[in-house]
């Protein structure tokens, strides 16, 4: 009874809403189609259950499906782990070395970042994954990476079943001409072992499953390789980008600093153990981390503060000269603006004529930056940051990026 009451808790039911998103819908549909078609093809046509090999093959297919779904749902529902709202370091003297999140009304602990989608500060945030509709972070990094490994392996097995099914069922119905290959699907071959004939719908379903399996193997396999590269260095995707910007900053200003990534423990095995454990739960509390002997807990956060300050100095002030609704693909802003819209989930910000924006990066047709908010919005902790069409703004004749009047509008979370 206690287990049932735990399952039907309100917060658990609310977590199920994560499934109502295009990412999980597509991911679970691909898993369901590949698994179902592979099992049907194997049992009915290629490798029936009345043989030892067929039974072993069937058990392997079921195991792949169970393991993939186990790690997928753990990655989704266990979650990355969140920094408590209003969190402060135990030692007040450490506060100047940390960033403050105005949304969560607390400090960001080392390795944490605020996710706009989850609306929380995430422990050791790697990225927000639309396929699990959740962030990949401290608590679910191992589950997510295991899913990235098991999904291609299961798809390789399914692809083998699809290929062998089509080969065994069509080998006597393929005729080779001088310039073409013809498959005769009209004369359905009945086999003593086959319950259902391998007809045109079965061939189409098998071919469709083969395409899904091969596509998933390539796409998810590449993501697995990328994840393992950062895990062996005990980094996240965000931290790899921070490290690259640190080297660029040092080279640009010729400061002579030596930046050492603090969380690389010097051994691939030790770095690997920071994510994967026998229990499935990573070591540590998500706040304090083992660091390199020449670094300390705030080595990376201090570098982040330097990069934020540098970005504020190098940002450029623009004045809005044309209204923009915030549409992802605006129809009235020119053909190039429409077709060159940034391929990212980062937000677009609506603009009104006369407003001020500080741009930090951009392309030929789009720009990214912070809109200067009024005093009430700034006090409420609001922030509007995102992409907007370049044609909607013009550069101011002076750069007030460093002025105190606008400094509050550009303050980072």
Residues taking part in catalysis: 129
Dihedral angle computed from the Cα positions of residues 376, 382, 383 and 388, in that order, rounded to the nearest 10 degrees: -80
d(CA 131, CA 140): 14
- Please, which residues have CB within 8 angstroms of residue 303's CB and are 6 or more apart in sequence? 242, 246, 259
Burial of 253 (0-12, 13-18, 19+ CB in 10 A): exposed
| CB hemisphere CA count around 213 (13 angstroms) | 23
DSSP 83: P
Structure tokens at 362: 């951009």
Dihedral angle computed from the Cα positions of residues 151, 168, 43 and 202, in that order, rounded to the nearest 10 degrees: 80
By the 8 A CB rule, do 77 and 266 touch? Answer: no
């Amino acid at each position: 009874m206690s287990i049932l009451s735990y399952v039907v808790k309100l917060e658990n039911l609310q977590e199920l809403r994560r499934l109502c998103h295009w990412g999980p819908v597509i991911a679970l549909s691909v898993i369901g189609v590949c698994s179902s078609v592979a099992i049907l093809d194997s049992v009915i046509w290629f490798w029936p259950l009345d043989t030892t090999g067929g039974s072993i093959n069937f058990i392997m297919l079921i195991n792949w499906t169970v393991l993939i779904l186990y790690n997928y749902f753990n990655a989704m529902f266990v979650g990355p782990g969140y920094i408590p709202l209003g969190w402060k370091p135990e030692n007040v003297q450490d506060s100047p070395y940390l960033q403050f999140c105005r949304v969560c009304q607390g400090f960001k602990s080392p390795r944490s970042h605020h996710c706009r989608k989850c609306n929380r500060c995430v422990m050791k945030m790697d990225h927000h994954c639309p396929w699990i509709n959740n962030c990949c972070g401290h608590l679910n990094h191992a589950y997510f990476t295991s899913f990235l490994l098991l999904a291609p392996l299961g798809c390789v097995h399914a692809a083998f079943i699809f290929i062998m099914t089509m080969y065994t069922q069509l080998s006597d119905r393929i005729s080779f001409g001088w310039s073409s290959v013809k498959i005769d699907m009209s004369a359905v071959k009945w086999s003593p072992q086959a319950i259902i004939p391998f007809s045109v719908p079965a061939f189409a379903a098998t071919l469709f499953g083969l395409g899904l399996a091969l596509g998933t193997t390539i796409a998810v396999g590449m993501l697995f390789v990328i994840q393992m590269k950062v895990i062996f260095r005990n980094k996240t995707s965000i931290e790899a980008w921070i490290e690259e910007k640190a080297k660029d900053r040092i080279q640009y200003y010729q400061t002579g600093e030596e930046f050492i990534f603090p969380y690389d423990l010097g051994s691939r095995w030790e770095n690997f153990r920071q994510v994967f454990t026998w229990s499935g739960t990573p070591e540590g509390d998500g706040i304090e981390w083992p660091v390199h002997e020449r670094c300390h807990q705030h080595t990376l956060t201090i570098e982040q503060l330097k990069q934020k300050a540098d970005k504020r100095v190098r940002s450029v002030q623009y004045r809005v000269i044309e209204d923009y609704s915030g549409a992802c693909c605006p129809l009235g802003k020119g053909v190039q603006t429409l077709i060159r819209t940034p391929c990212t989930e980062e937000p677009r910000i609506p603009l009104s004529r006369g407003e001020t924006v500080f741009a930090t990066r951009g392309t030929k047709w789009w720009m990214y930056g912070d809109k200067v908010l009024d005093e009430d919005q700034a006090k409420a902790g609001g922030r509007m940051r995102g992409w907007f069409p370049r044609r909607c703004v013009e550069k101011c004749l002076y750069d007030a990026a460093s002025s105190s009047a606008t400094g509050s509008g550009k303050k980072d979370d």
